[in-house]
Amino acid sequence: MKIDVLTLFPDMFAPLEQSLIGKAVEDDKLSLNLVDFRKYSHDKHNHVDDTPYGGGAGMLLKPEPIFEAMDDINAADTGKKRVILLDPAGRKFDQAAAAELAQEDHLVFICGHYEGYDERIRTLVTDEFSLGDFVMTGGEIASMAMIDATARLIPGVLGNSVSPETDSFQNGLLEYPQYTRPPEYRGMDVPFVLQNGNHKLIAEWQLKESLRRTYTRRPDLLVGLELDKTGKRLLREVKTEEHTKQIEAEQQK
């Protein structure tokens, strides 16, 4: 996959040179090109923003630097690409969106700053995304989060191909609790079922605990979620157990 990022602050992307994403770049599984679009400004002071027509607070990104940076990107690669604008009004980015973008060959991220964009910039864009209902100082951190979440789903980026399949949200549920050695630490034991080698029981425990974590922390994720017969049974058990815990906790107050 090839990723171009239009940004005023390319040095902010240094964290992507580390860990698995950096290794993916080294192994040519991922190409990351940072484009400082200030270089496409049209005056000696390298201004990329200006006051909005009609008045208003703040400054807007001018269209010329973004358009001309995109001209060079399109000239270097005439193939299909998804051009992503980071904007609070965009589609909320989630695991499904990451999996969708991971199927693409070429992504372009446009990171804004100041009060917003000249509206004409949106004509270059295929997708608008937001990390949530909050406003950040710029699109760099949001784009890094999206790149990290997307790139790890590219085949071969993660060492274990099974890892993405068990991630939180991958099947609509939060991930189940996990443990490693030692089996006992400071009075806390690894559940026996995980140590007995019975893969069927382990799989059922994992599903049940995934349902429990989702039910207690993000019940909204269960709305409309399709479960098989086993999943429905385990969810009923979870609800009964958690209800019992709640009653016992209230009685102890």
Distance CA 128, CA 109 (A): 10
- A 10 A CB-CB count for 170 gives 16
Instruction: Please indicate if the annotation marks 112 as binding a ligand.
Output: yes
Instruction: Please indicate if the annotation marks 5 as binding a ligand.
Output: no
Indicate the pairing of strand 116-117 with strand 60-61.
parallel
Instruction: Please indicate if the annotation marks 131 as binding a ligand.
Output: yes
Instruction: Please indicate if the annotation marks 135 as binding a ligand.
Output: yes
Instruction: Please indicate if the annotation marks 190 as binding a ligand.
Output: no
- A 10 A CB-CB count for 183 gives 13
Question: How many degrees, rounded to 5, is the angle at CA 71 between CA 65 and CA 74?
Answer: 140
Residue numbers annotated as active site: 88, 115, 152, 167
Instruction: Please indicate if the annotation marks 28 as binding a ligand.
Output: no
User: CA of 157: how far to CAs of 20, 146, 149, 213, in Å?
Assistant: 7, 15, 11, 28
Instruction: Please indicate if the annotation marks 86 as binding a ligand.
Output: no
- A 10 A CB-CB count for 65 gives 24
Which residue ranges are tagged as binding site?
112, 131-136
Which residue ranges are tagged as binding site for S-adenosyl-L-methionine?
112, 131-136
